[in-house]
């Protein structure tokens, strides 16, 4: 119950982005903390709008957790596929943010 309460008030404990503070540019992970907080508050669409790669990243971590408890056939291939999907989503989101902010 304490863990759920911590996630509901996570805004009080969020770390600032050093990249944004030092260089004035967002990093590839900007928005992730707020998206996780929104996700645990049940705001799934708002979490996606805040940081679209949250769902591929969550799927990858869920697969890692399941794979550590159960032996999953073709787990290496699934891990590679999910990693490529996640990295592609992160890079695509970053490129989109940089292109829309520069124009």
pLDDT tens by residue, 77-91: 999 999 999 999 999
pTM across the whole model: 0.77
Q: With CA atoms as reference, report the closest residue to 38 among 14, 65, 64.
A: 14
Q: Which residues constitute the domain of residue 35?
A: 2-102
Instruction: Report which DSSP code applies to 15.
Output: P
> Up-side HSE of residue 36: CA atoms within 13 Å toward CB?
15
> Above 80 in pLDDT, residue 14?
no
Say if residues 55 and 26 touch (Cβ distance below 8 Å): no
**pLDDT at res. 7:** 55
Number of domains in the chain: 1
**pLDDT at res. 44:** 95
**pLDDT at res. 1:** 55
**pLDDT at res. 2:** 53
Instruction: Report which DSSP code applies to 25.
Output: S
Cβ-count burial of 47 within 10 angstroms (0-12 exposed, 13-18 middle, 19+ buried)? buried
């Amino acid at each position: 119950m304490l863990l759920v309460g911590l996630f509901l008030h996570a805004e009080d404990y969020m770390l600032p982005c050093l990249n944004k503070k030092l260089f004035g540019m967002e990093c590839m992970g900007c928005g992730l903390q707020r998206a996780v907080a929104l996700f645990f508050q049940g705001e799934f669409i708002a979490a996606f709008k805040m940081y679209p790669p949250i769902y591929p990243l969550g799927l990858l971590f869920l697969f890692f957790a399941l794979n550590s408890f159960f032996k999953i056939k073709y787990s290496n291939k699934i891990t590679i596929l999910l990693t490529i999907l996640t990295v592609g989503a992160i890079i695509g989101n970053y490129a989109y943010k940089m292109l829309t902010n520069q124009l």
